[in-house]
Amino acid sequence: MKKYTLSKKRKLSSKKFQKVYKNGKSYANKYLVLYVFKSEKNLVGFAAGKKLGSAVVRNKVKRRLREIYRLNQTNISRNYSLILVGRKYVIKANYKLVEDAFLDLVYKAGLVK
């Protein structure tokens, strides 16, 4: 049975988040931006800028991104740190569209097992 959890140990600290953001390679589509950086562990961070709207909207976007990553993490190669950033169009998009956008970026980045 696959384990679909996302523990706090797997989330990027502020310092590592900045490192991935500055030095990582980015892949983008209409809904998301994915930053990828080679590292010793699989770590992940989520972001939604203030341009997206109120705190309620930004938190909804981040919750959705966390869930999409959590369910698809077993398909992603090891030893990469990722940052998922929501764009304006992710607010009105349904879950399936956002998930497909995420998987598209993972394929573009070559992170599929």
pLDDT tens digit sequence for 19-35:
999 999 999 999 999 99
Range of the domain at 99: 8-109
Does 2 reside within a domain?
no
The reply to whether 1 falls in a domain is no
Distance CA 92, CA 2 (A): 31
Q: What is this structure's pTM? A: 0.92
Cβ atoms of 113 and 42 closer than 8 Å: no
Condensed to tens digits (0 to 9), the pLDDT of residues 65-113 reads 999 999 999 999 989 999 999 999 999 999 999 999 999 999 999 999 8
Tokens of 80: 């990469």
**Is there a domain that residue 43 lies in?**
yes
- Looking at the structure of the chain, the number of domains it has is 1
The two structure tokens encoding residue 13? 């600290």
3 located within any domain? no
Q: Classify residue 39: in a domain, yes or no.
A: yes
**CATH number of 77's domain:** 3.30.230.10
Longest dimension (CA), the chain: 40
CB atoms near residue 50 (< 10 Å): 8
54 lies in some domain: yes
Q: What gap in Å lies between CA 69 and CA 99, rounded to an integer?
A: 9
